[in-house]
Chain A
Amino acid sequence: MTALPDGLIVVAKKDCPTCVLVEPVLAALAKGPLPLTVYSQDDPRFPADVPHVVDDRALERSFRLAIETVPTLIRVAGGREVERVIGWHRDDWRRVSGQAVGEGLPAMQPGCGSKSVEPGIAEELLVKYGNTGLSARRIGVGAFEDEAEAMYARGWSDGLPLVPPTPGRVLRMLAGTTRDKAEVLGLMPPDLAPCTVEKVAINAVMAGCKPEYMPVVIAAVEAALMEPFALHGVLATTMFVGPVVIVNGPIARAIGMNGGGNALGQGNRANMTVGRALQLIVRNVGGGRPGGVDRATLGNPGKYTYCFAEDEENSCWEPLSVERGFPKGTSTVTLFAGEGMQAVVDQQSRDPESLTRSFARCLLSVGHIKWAMMSDAFLVVSPEHERTYRNAGWPKARFRAELEKALLRPGKDLVRGAGGMAEGVPAALADKLLPKFREGGLGIVRAGGQAGMFSAIIGGWAASGAVGSSPVSKEVGT
């Protein structure tokens, strides 16, 4: 843009009542000693009776002058801005212009938002006229090339369509976090590539996230990179698992996550896209792809996305985040290397002892019914099942203790060959009483719709715990 014209500049738009109010003022200023230039944002015929109106419908001048409100009056001397007034303030306009304008008008009237800062426009102007500071490589897609196909062709997709990560969209996504876009969150397996906040934002755009999901996506990435989670192994294993993301705290409600009806199913944007963003980051930044380092024999549908909120508000139990050491009310993500889910249907139990036995029997089948202390699991207890414990006055700790008791079995029933099944634990454990899960290997959360005496088991990885993956939690920041 050329140097600013000396004299007065007013940025205005016809669609602003305050700009229309000062239209006679502008006509008067145009006849005064200082040259007047008006940058009109929406109609070059506005204002009337001003000879020098510059068409700024492209908003370049408004952008370069960092206009946030119209009208804005600027005095320029020697090609440089000396002073500006935002909105209509008669005294200030008179002082800056040196003319007794605005007689008969109210002493002041606030202006309207500049078109250059409207949502969706501001970022595009930054891309067009400014310095975005984005460092990712630019990929040009021809005018007659289908963007969706171009992204598929480059291998960016998990198999489903992606939102094109244009610079404007990525800037809007980055506005959802206070983190520096250049910050490296860690080295993303399997390629151990630096994963910047900017790369997270690009993949979050593609996944369909809203900007306000960014803190959750970032926390999920940070959790996935924690050593105990063993992301490389979770990706590379021939077994079923992928990251299951469980969100606790006020952020879940703030971004509209679902912990109620169909919590483990489709239909909620935040649930779907946060989990998907994490998977896309592993795929694109880390280079982890099926057939490459991902050697899953069957995988599971949750490897597209597996993310839900715990319904803490209506629960009589302390939430998962509190169990994991965070103060109540803290927003957290917990990652668990999980496979698909298995139903627990018990519509008959009305006392906690019976229902606990049902849970235990169903949980025994995780991995293999004869396994002990191998796969971890999460039990997702529905409201109607939780009600049984609420009515009986069982806190979560008692439920867990009773459940663990019901999950103890004699080793002789589990050793290899017992029950006519070659699979099982080593013979040396025949004389032991064996828990199904290692200590800390069974997570319990509450989620689901109000109706239905059905809960869910999310089985874990055979390599659970120190030998493989342990659940990890991370506080959600900003």
Chain B
Amino acid sequence: MTTLLDPTAERSRVNRPRRAPPESLDGVTVALLDIGKARGDVFLDKLEALLGARGIKARRYRKPTNTRVAPTPLKQQIAAECGVVVEALSD
């Protein structure tokens, strides 16, 4: 492990807090990301229907394979088009 000395006035925590989720999904487009694991599509279909029933816009995305991290263009596309992302992580 490398030790670095904090160059700041030390007014924030060492461990960065996770970004807080939005308080509301009103006006937010939700990315539904299928990572390629079995039955992920079933979960996302259900979620898309539930979101649609609440008037929340969702867009579907899919990783080429679950064995690799998402390609950068896909991540950039999701970031450009959506405010939050939900991944179907496991089978």
Binding site for B on A (CB under 8 A): 134, 136-143, 147, 150-151, 153-154, 156, 164-167, 170, 188, 191, 193-194, 198-199, 202-203, 206, 280, 284-287
25 contacts between A and B (CB under 8 A): A136-B10, A139-B5, A140-B2, A140-B4, A141-B2, A141-B3, A143-B2, A147-B4, A153-B16, A154-B16, A156-B8, A164-B4, A165-B4, A165-B7, A167-B3, A167-B5, A194-B9, A198-B5, A199-B7, A199-B9, A202-B5, A284-B8, A284-B9, A285-B9, A287-B9
B4 partner, pick from A139, A143, A198, A280, beta carbons under 8 A: A139
Q: Which residue of chain A has its CB nearest to the CB of B9?
A: A193
Q: Are B8 and A134 in contact (CB under 8 A)?
A: no
Q: Which A residues are CB-close (under 8 A) to B20?
A: none
Binding site for A on B (CB under 8 A): 1-11, 14, 16
Q: Which residue of chain A has its CB nearest to the CB of B5?
A: A136
Q: Which residue of chain B has its CB nearest to the CB of A285?
A: B9
Q: What is the predominant secondary structure among interface residues of chain A facing chain B?
A: mixed
Q: Which A residues are CB-close (under 8 A) to B10?
A: 136-137
For the complex with contacts A147-B4, A193-B11, A285-B7, 15 further pairs of A-B residues with Cβ separation under 8 Å are: A138-B6, A140-B4, A151-B4, A156-B8, A165-B4, A166-B4, A166-B5, A170-B5, A188-B9, A199-B7, A202-B7, A284-B9, A285-B8, A286-B9, A287-B11
Q: Which A residues are CB-close (under 8 A) to B7?
A: 136, 156, 165, 199, 202-203, 206, 280, 284-285
B14 partner, pick from A139, A153, A198, beta carbons under 8 A: A139
Q: Are B1 and A140 in contact (CB under 8 A)?
A: yes
Question: In angstroms, how far is the closest chain A Cβ from the Cβ of B18?
Answer: 13
Using A153-B16, A154-B16 as known contacts, say yes or no to A191 and B11 having CB atoms under 8 A apart. Answer: yes
Question: In angstroms, how far is the closest chain B Cβ from the Cβ of A151?
Answer: 7
Q: Are B4 and A138 in contact (CB under 8 A)?
A: yes
Question: In the docked arrangement, what's the CA distance between A280 and B11, Å?
Answer: 16
Using A139-B14, A154-B16, A191-B11 as known contacts, say yes or no to A134 and B5 having CB atoms under 8 A apart. Answer: yes
Q: Which B residues are CB-close (under 8 A) to A285?
A: 7-9
Q: Which B residues are CB-close (under 8 A) to A280?
A: 7
Q: Which B residues are CB-close (under 8 A) to A287?
A: 8-9, 11
Max chain A CB contacts within 10 Å: which of B2, B3, B5, B11? B5
Q: Are B5 and A138 in contact (CB under 8 A)?
A: yes
Q: Are B6 and A139 in contact (CB under 8 A)?
A: yes
Q: Which B residues are CB-close (under 8 A) to A143?
A: 1-2
Question: In the docked arrangement, what's the CA distance between A320 and B66, Å?
Answer: 65
Q: Which B residues are CB-close (under 8 A) to A136?
A: 5-7, 10
Max chain A CB contacts within 10 Å: which of B1, B3, B9, B11? B9
Q: Which residue of chain B has its CB nearest to the CB of A286?
A: B9
Q: Which B residues are CB-close (under 8 A) to A166?
A: 2-5
Question: In the docked arrangement, what's the CA distance between A193 and B6, Å?
Answer: 14
Q: Which B residues are CB-close (under 8 A) to A202?
A: 5-7
Question: In the docked arrangement, what's the CA distance between A405 and B13, Å?
Answer: 57
B5 partner, pick from A142, A154, A165, A193, beta carbons under 8 A: A165
Q: Which residue of chain A has its CB nearest to the CB of B8?
A: A284
Q: Which A residues are CB-close (under 8 A) to B6?
A: 136-139, 202
Question: In the docked arrangement, what's the CA distance between A205 and B3, Å?
Answer: 14
Question: In the docked arrangement, what's the CA distance between A206 and B5, Å?
Answer: 10
Q: Which B residues are CB-close (under 8 A) to A153?
A: 16
Max chain B CB contacts within 10 Å: which of A137, A203, A280? A137
Question: In angstroms, how far is the closest chain A Cβ from the Cβ of B15?
Answer: 10
Q: Which B residues are CB-close (under 8 A) to A150?
A: 4
Q: Are A137 and B9 in contact (CB under 8 A)?
A: no
Question: In angstroms, how far is the closest chain B Cβ from the Cβ of A183?
Answer: 16
Question: In angstroms, how far is the closest chain A Cβ from the Cβ of B23?
Answer: 22
Q: Which B residues are CB-close (under 8 A) to A286?
A: 9
Q: Are A137 and B3 in contact (CB under 8 A)?
A: no
Q: Which A residues are CB-close (under 8 A) to B8?
A: 156, 284-285, 287
Q: Which residue of chain B has its CB nearest to the CB of A156?
A: B7
A141 partner, pick from B4, B9, B11, B16, beta carbons under 8 A: B4
